[in-house]
Amino acid sequence: MRLLFKMDKKDYDPNGSRFVRPSARAIIVKGNRIVMVRSQKYDYYKFPGGGLEAGETPVSALIREVREEAGMVVIPESVREFGYVHRVQKGERQEIFVQDNFYYFCEVEEQVLEQKLDPYEEGEKFTMEFVLPEKAIAVNRSSEHGDRSDDPHLLAMAEREARVLELLMREQYGKTKNTDINSR
């Protein structure tokens, strides 16, 4: 899978202990909108997805996370790679937090089911939205994010998602034909 970009804050002791948490994230395109999960509590958007659990592949984690966070059922044979983002910064549990975020295009079944949020996600009031990329980028970069406005992990995640959205727009949401996104 291609490396989209690296995010390394270099705010850690390079000799410190590492916490490695790979994740898988879904890119679901509907017309000129992208399915995103919105934190109503902290006002940011993220791609549906999350960390891999023990024994999971990135694709199996993607399918599970999309079902839980967005209430959508991924069509497994539609999954295709987009790229990954390598992120390194000072950790909360260990000195260094390392995360490879694997992004996949996928299609979903038409019916949207009830979300199956964990307590953390319920606390953030996650909702699924079909959003214009420009709106999600603006919110992620301009919002105050409530009492987490100085949280380096939230800010890095919000910027990561904004940068991935910008790449998607430049690459026309994964389309190979040369058309203007705004005309779709």
Q: Is residue 178 part of a domain?
A: no
Q: Is the pLDDT confidence value at 184 over 50? A: no
181 assigned to some structural domain: no
Task: Please indicate, yes or no, if residue 74 is contained in any of the structural domains.
Answer: yes
**pLDDT recorded at residue 179:** 35
**Is residue 124 assigned to a domain?**
yes
| 81 part of a folded domain | yes
pLDDT, average across residues 74-92? 96
- Examine residue 180 and state whether it is found in any structural domain, yes or no: no
Query: Is the pLDDT at 182 greater than 80, yes or no?
Result: no
Coil, strand, or helix at residue 92? coil
Q: Where are the alpha helices (DSSP H) in 72-175?
A: 119-123, 133-142, 152-170
Total-model pTM: 0.91
User: Tokens standing for 2?
Assistant: 């291609």
Using pLDDT thresholds of 50, 70 and 90, give the confidence band for residue 177: very low
Please state the rounded mean pLDDT for residues 2-30.
Answer: 95
pLDDT tens digits along 102-116 = 999 999 999 999 999
Q: Which residue has the tokens 């705004």?
A: 182
Residue range(s) defining the domain that contains residue 77: 3-173
24, 61, 126 from 122: Cα distances, Å? 20, 19, 6
Q: Evaluate whether residue 182 is within a structural domain.
A: no
First to last CA, the chain: 28
Report the CATH number at residue 80. Answer: 3.90.79.10
Q: How many domains does the chain have?
A: 1
Q: Higher model confidence: residue 136 or residue 175? A: 136
Q: 179 lies in a domain?
A: no
Asked whether the beta carbons of 70 and 47 are under 8 A apart, the reply is no
